[in-house]
Amino acid sequence: MKLHRFIGDWQLGEEMTIRVVEAEVIAQVRNVLRLGHGDQIVLANDGGQEALVTITDFGRGYFDTRVKEYRPAKHENKAETTLYCAVLKKENFELVVQKATELGVKKIVPIITERTVKLGLRFDRLAKIAREASEQSGRGVVPTIFEPVEFSSAVANLSVGTKTVILEENGQEFSASIFSEANSRAIFVGPEGGWTEAEIDQAKAKGLSLAKVCNFTLRAETAAIVASFLLGQSDEN
């Protein structure tokens, strides 16, 4: 039977009872999942730990649980992974956030490019999507979603030592060895209309690697999902 997971700020490790007071979690457990006394759920925090608990009691604005087992959450990749993705249409960018989270990306940075058309992102909704995707996929960490930045600023402010790739259909064939031994990795994905020549020149001047992942032209959201997978490859752990 599938156990439902919830990520929160719970102090895990010693206490044998945990009280849940988060209204959204309570509503999900009681009204959506219709769980009750004796049912089991998993509580996780961003410290890499989770607890298998049994619901013991419901009260006004809370429910109590008894800890059955503490255990480590699924292992996160050692490398710091960042997806820079051009702002896309609302539903497409939400899909990118969901799948990037499932694939283990740790940071998601929306970027504004010369051909970016849509800018209306709802960050409260994106945060909710990321948290639910982390819970569903077994992660104990919810990726950080940043405010949009201009492409030029994102490139100029890349951390020293971050191995960075810009996906471009005229680039070299992508190889997992590009990220070999890189503890900090980033991939840039462009908008529906592609990168401009000036943006490609700026990326080259900064020393970014240009790479393609196949011989076909991918939709931006597809490229971002592929990039999310590639960011997690060749990790030592």
pLDDT in tens, 184-212: 999 999 998 899 999 999 999 998 999 99
Q: Where are the beta strands (DSSP E) in 13-117?
A: 17-20, 40-44, 49-59, 62-72, 80-86, 107-112
Q: How confident is the model at residue 13 (pLDDT cuts 50, 70, 90)?
A: confident
User: In the CATH hierarchy, which top-level class contains the domain 80-231?
Assistant: alpha beta
CB 170 within 8 A of CB 224: no
Give the model's confidence band at 234: pLDDT under 50 very low, under 70 low, under 90 confident, else very high: low
Phi-psi region of 161 (alpha: psi -120 to 50; beta: other; left: phi over 0): left
pLDDT band at 1 (very low <50, low <70, confident <90, very high): low
- Our measurement of the distance from residue 232's CA atom to the centroid of its chain's CA atoms, rounded to an integer in Å, reads 11
How many Cα atoms occupy the beta-carbon half-sphere of 172 within 13 Å?
A: 9
Backbone angle region of 207, left / alpha / beta, with phi > 0 → left and psi within -120 to 50 → alpha: left
Exposed, middle or buried, 156 (CB in 10 Å: 0-12/13-18/19+)?
exposed
Amino acid symbol at 231: L
Q: Is the pLDDT of residue 236 over 80?
A: no
Q: For residue 83, give the nearest of 169, 168, 184 by alpha carbon.
A: 184
> 237 versus 28: which is more confidently predicted?
28
For residues 233 and 214, what is the distance between their CA atoms, to the nearest angstrom?
Answer: 17
Mean pLDDT calculated for residue range 31-41: 93
CATH superfamily of 5-72: Hypothetical PUA domain-like; domain 1 (2.40.240.20)
Q: Over the stretch 21-35, which tens digit does the pLDDT of each residue have? A: 999 899 999 999 999
Q: Any idea where the domains of the chain sit in the sequence?
A: 5-72, 80-231
Confidence at residue 235, expressed as pLDDT on a 0 to 100 scale: 61
Check whether 237 has a pLDDT greater than 50.
no
Q: Taking residues 127-155, report their average pLDDT.
A: 93
